[in-house]
Amino acid sequence: KLPLLLALSIFYYITRTPPNPPASHKEISKYPPGDHFSRRTTAVSKTLPLSFIFCEILVIISIHYPTSVFAESTMTALVRTSSHNFHAPTTTPIFLVGFFLTVCGACVRWSSYHALGPFFTFELSIHDEHKLITRGPYSVVRHPSYVGSLCVFAGILFCIFGPGSWIYECGWWDLVSVKIFAMFVTAVHMTTVFLLLSRMGTEDKMMRKEFGLQWDEWAKNVPYKLVPGIF
């Protein structure tokens, strides 16, 4: 499972790290504040899952190398050995589903980064020399990066809280406080999803205003926002 966790952390890091510097205040000030992502929310949704993955990696290494220098301290800190439900983190069907969703979502996000190039920012904005990009994933749906995000958010939650995960197998899921914390992490991700979905309309209006007939022609050829043939 260790190689899968390392790959998972890399793919998740890519999806939650802006490929370009933040948009300037001038570029985002013309849009409603509600359409801007909170950098704090983004940081939390990025850091917490990566921390859980890191803890799981440490536990797996400690189990396989019990005589290593840090094994005992790691197990003491990260495993509730008094719990009757302790098992070593393992690869489960739920984890594989989450891993598949995360990897697929990350690939869609990366292809969106590549297609938009310097125009891709996490903030809703239009650059001075902005161009309407209609190639790559943008020839399939109008908001492919959001599709990628939805897949990643669902997938990472399966991986860090589902059966086989550090939280689930090492006794922590027995604690009510941990379940409440898991709900908080899920709520942070759901908030991000809500912000993504709620700003699609604003983004379409913004692009139509900026590019006019060019956008209309693109929207005619690519009528779906997220899923071809459905929405």
Amino acid, single-letter form, for residue 90: T
Note the pTM of the prediction, 2 decimals: 0.88
* Neighbour tally for 90: CB within 10 Å: 12
Between CA 84 and CA 51 the distance in angstroms is 24
Residue pointed to by tokens 């902005």: 130
Give the whole-angstrom CA distance, residue 149 versus residue 63: 33
Domain CATH code at residue 62: 1.20.120
- The stretches in the chain having pLDDT less than 50 are none
Q: What is the mean pLDDT of the chain?
A: 88
Is the CB of residue 137 less than 8 Å from the CB of residue 111?
yes
Q: Domain for residue 226, yes or no?
A: no
User: Would you say residue 167 lies in a domain?
Assistant: yes
- Cα radius of gyration rounded to whole Å, the chain: 20
Q: What is the pLDDT of residue 12?
A: 96
Q: Rounded to whole angstroms, how far apart are CA atoms 24 and 142?
A: 24
Q: Is residue 230 part of a domain?
A: no
Give pLDDT, residue 130.
Answer: 85
Give the domain extent around 189: 2-17+31-221
In a domain, 210, yes or no: yes
Q: Return the pLDDT at 40.
A: 67
Is there a domain that residue 38 lies in?
yes
pLDDT of residue 30: 60
In a domain, residue 60? The reply is yes
Query: What domain count does the chain have?
Result: 1
Helix/strand/coil for 170: coil
End-to-end Cα distance, the chain: 36
pLDDT of residue 88: 86
Encode pLDDT of 119-171 as tens digits: 998 888 887 788 999 999 999 999 999 999 999 999 999 999 999 999 999 98
Residue 227 lies in a domain: no
- For residue 205, being part of any structural domain is answered with yes
Residues contacting 228, CB < 8 A, separation 6+: 140, 141
Dihedral of the CA atoms 116, 119, 121, 124 (nearest 10)?
Answer: -110
